Amino acid sequence: MQPISICGSDAAALAETLVETLDGRVALVRQSTGSPTPDGGGSVASERPERTGGVPATTVDVGADGSWSGRGTNASFDDLLDGLAPDHDYLVAVGYDRLRVPTVLLGADVDPDDTPGDVVEVAARAADVDVDALVDRLSDAEPWVTREELVAEVTSGPSAARSGAIATFTGRVRARDGPDDDRTTHLAFEKYAGVAAERLDAIAADLTDRDGVFEVALHHRTGVVEAGEDIVFVVVLAGHRAEAFRAVEDGIDRLKDEVPIFKKETTESEAFWVHERE
């Protein structure tokens, strides 16, 4: 799923136009302006089988406290993205300026440097945005990928009937190594996009060539990832558990050694590039 956040006084107008333009199932997430639900959250509209005539497949109204009904309350926005990702091609969020996703800023006083997401457009008004060009830029943006989607991907092929094991690895941001360590608040990841993708594909192909390994999927998130959130996934479909476990371990080891992804760590007291201290 490809998410995008639109912020500013004219955000709703641009979101409406963007939903009409996007080709695929679209989830529209907006801050609730109506009465809260009994649990303090927003409301989730009933899903439509397909988006037609510019109508989003799913609309989610989120309450002022950040919670929503239907998919749980008091959870992070990442949880909402994870829940919607398998069934949608796009997510358009309206009015959320702290999301770590591609972002459009509308208004005269917006500050791209104060936005955690990748700012893909800055304009005074919605009417000033070339929506077709914005859609093109989204095709090159980082998608929101979940472990569950990767599992579905590896089990959808013809080899699934021969497999007796699915092994996965999830790497996440560790707040601290020891109880007295300075707490890590977040990590920021940058990668050479083309080279990183080629290396990931090469690792997956090498592992899949092994006897008993049928499918391999790897994904590493970029941008800012906070403590406790997921960073990287390795998913292996194999005939038996031994082959699956070995391929998962080798996959994450090779990803860390061979894929050009650079990590900046921010703790409560400092920020530094990890490779400069190794």
pLDDT at 36: 37
Could you list the residue range(s) of the whole structural domain that residue 250 is in? 147-277
pLDDT at 118: 83
Q: What is the CATH number of the domain that holds 89?
A: 3.40.50
Check residues 60 and 237 and name the one with the higher pLDDT: 237
**What's the CA gap between 28 and 107, in Å, rounded?**
21
**What's the CA gap between 104 and 117, in Å, rounded?**
9
**What's the CA gap between 71 and 39, in Å, rounded?**
12
Same domain, 18 and 90: yes
Same domain, 161 and 122: no
Under 8 Å CB-to-CB from 35, ≥6 apart: which residues? none
* pLDDT bucket at 172, cuts 50 / 70 / 90: very high
**What's the CA gap between 86 and 152, in Å, rounded?**
9
pLDDT tens sequence across 22-73: 999 999 998 755 443 333 333 333 343 344 446 677 787 765 554 444 333 3
Which of 114, 138, 162 delimits the end of a domain?
Answer: 138
Same domain, 118 and 192: no
Same domain, 176 and 260: yes
Which of 108, 138, 168 delimits the end of a domain?
Answer: 138
Domain count, the chain: 2
Which of 83, 115, 138 delimits the end of a domain?
Answer: 138
- For residue 70, CA distances in Å to 39, 47, 126, 212 come to 10, 12, 31, 41
